[in-house]
Amino acid sequence: MSYSLSTGGTSGIARFVPVTHREWDVFSEVQANALKNLGVNKKDIVANLFVAGYFWPSFLGGHEIIKKIGAVHLPVSAITDIEKLIYFFDLFKPTVILSVPSLLIYFADELLKKGKKYPEVRLIQFAGEHLSENASKVVKKAFPDAEIKAAGYTSADCGLMGYQCNHCGPIEYHVPTDFQFIEIYNFDENRPCKEGELGEIVVTNLKRTSIPIIRYRLGDLGYYKKKKCRCGDKNPVLVLKGRSGEDFKFGGSYVGMNQIEKCFSDFVSKDGISANYQVEIDNLENGKTSFILRIESSNIEASKKYKNEIKENLFKEIPLFKEGVDIDFIEVFKVEFIKLGELPRNPVTGKIKRLIDKRVGN
């Protein structure tokens, strides 16, 4: 008997991955240990806000992990509407939240709009996407006493590849070496990287036997830290350096989504401005380009006064944008605000696609 779990991946094509019950148990055990490591114990009340259904493993995984820890499980899931979510939080007062960042940000924005806070939440674990500094700030406002940690570096095929201790920075993960063998490889020169040298992450799972995972390429970049971690854990620390698909090409150079975020970070949670956003780039029929930055807001009218400043910041941060507008290569260059929760979410993962690049040949 086996579970079938799908992975969307950057290709967008769903695949089904068989996992035996035994393998699933090992996966959950490793994940539960990672959460225990951060101090979660049986006294905790854990709100599981992961996405359920669609063969997606995260909600089921949450259930298994919480069960293994012996904590109280609140199986809320990501499909619960916001009013009910607040009702459940008022009633059960969770101390730990498991969620994807897109939902966390939306939840925090709605709470701030209502002037509500949940100081009893002491730990928030997120998974599935990156939580930017902007987003972190907003979440911190609604959950002022919560420590915010990545649930781990995981994939449905490989299971947990990294967990965080209390000394790990936002992109640092201990590798569970009795579960995974992770190499950093330089494919241009066809050689393994040295310690501290950036390269592509290549994973071999040591427990998976139904479909062995051997030297699996996830398209992620990273390097091993030279120094041992101060927490005393002997497992080495992997520093993740972003995923493919997070940057776009513009005028021959690369623009990082972190550069876009930086341009409105000062305004996040002012006058309703959210950290949830989306960039859409397209080719117009006349061959020119359009660039639209859409940001969610709980107060669209009030947010509008920052439009020009955000545009100016974009021009300063990415001078090619300014040039493009000046020479009329970029015909449409807009910053727009839309209602909270209105950016399209992927129904399977609950994530907002930060970048929609419709240009041909990109």
Residue (235 or 278) nearer to Zn ion, CB: 235
Dist CA 96 CA 212 (whole Å): 34
Cα(168)–Cα(232) distance, rounded to whole angstroms? Answer: 12
**353, 206, 203: which is closest to 279 by C-alpha?**
353
86 versus 231: smaller Cβ distance to Zn ion = 231
Closest approach of Zn ion to the CB of residue 107, in Å: 29
Site for Zn ion in 162-181 (CB under 5 A): 165, 167
Q: How far is the CB of 38 from Zn ion (least distance, A)?
A: 11
Q: How many residues bind Zn ion (CB under 5 A)?
A: 5
Minimum CB distance to Zn ion smaller for 111 or for 237: 237
Site map (CB under 5 A) of Zn ion, residues 125-164, x = contact: ----------------------------------------
b/e per residue, 190-215, with b = 16+ CB within 10 A? eeebeeeeebbbbbebebbeeeebee
H/E element holding 125? Answer: strand 123-126
157, amino acid identity: D
By C-beta, is 75 or 170 nearer to Zn ion?
170
Taking the complex as a whole, the smallest distance from the CB of residue 231 to Zn ion amounts, in Å, to 3
Nearest one of 354, 344, 341 to 107, comparing CA atoms: 341
For residue 151, which phi and psi values (nearest 5 degrees)?
-65, -15
Strands (E), 21-93: 45-48, 72-74
Which lies closer to Zn ion via its Cβ, residue 42 or residue 227? 227
Per CB under 5 A, does 317 bind Zn ion? no
Pairing mode, strands 159-162 and 153-155: antiparallel
Residue span binding Zn ion (CB under 5 A) among the ranges 56-64, 207-215, 216-224, 227-235: 227-235
- Between 69 and 165, name the residue whose CB sits nearer to Zn ion: 165
Residue 168 CB burial class (10 angstroms; 0-12, 13-18, ≥19): buried
CB of 58 to Zn ion, least distance (A): 24
Closest-CA residue to 46 (of 61, 62, 57): 62
State the DSSP string of 190-254. Answer: TEEPPTT--EEEEEEESS--SS---SEEEEEEEEE-SSPPTT---SPEEEEEEETTSEEEETTEE
CB atoms within 10 A of CB 104: 25
Nearest residue to 116 (alpha-carbon basis) of 83, 86, 147, 136 = 86
> Looking at 45, 72, 86, 229, which residue binds Zn ion (CB under 5 A)?
229
Minimum distance from CB of 213 to Zn ion (Å)? 25
- Nearest residue (CB) to Zn ion, 79 versus 229: 229
Best CA proximity match to 330, nearest among 359, 295, 355: 359
Q: Which is nearer to Zn ion, 138 or 237 (CB)?
A: 237
How far apart are CB 236 and Zn ion at their closest, in Å? Answer: 10
Side chain identity at residue 294, one-letter code: R
Q: Which is nearer to Zn ion, 233 or 261 (CB)?
A: 233
233 near Zn ion, judged by CB under 5 A: yes
- Contact between 239 and Zn ion (CB under 5 A)? no
Contact map string, positions 256 to 295, toward Zn ion, x by CB under 5 A = ----------------------------------------
Q: Residue 229 CB, nearest distance to Zn ion (Å)?
A: 3
Contact range with Zn ion by CB under 5 A, out of 59-67, 231-239, 334-342, 350-358: 231-239
Minimum distance of Zn ion from residue 252's CB (angstroms): 41
Is 172 or 220 the residue whose CB approaches Zn ion more closely?
172
C-beta of 174: minimal distance to Zn ion in Å?
6
Please count the other Cβ atoms lying within 10 Å of the Cβ belonging to residue 337.
Answer: 25
Q: Which residues bind Zn ion (CB under 5 A)?
A: 165, 167, 229, 231, 233
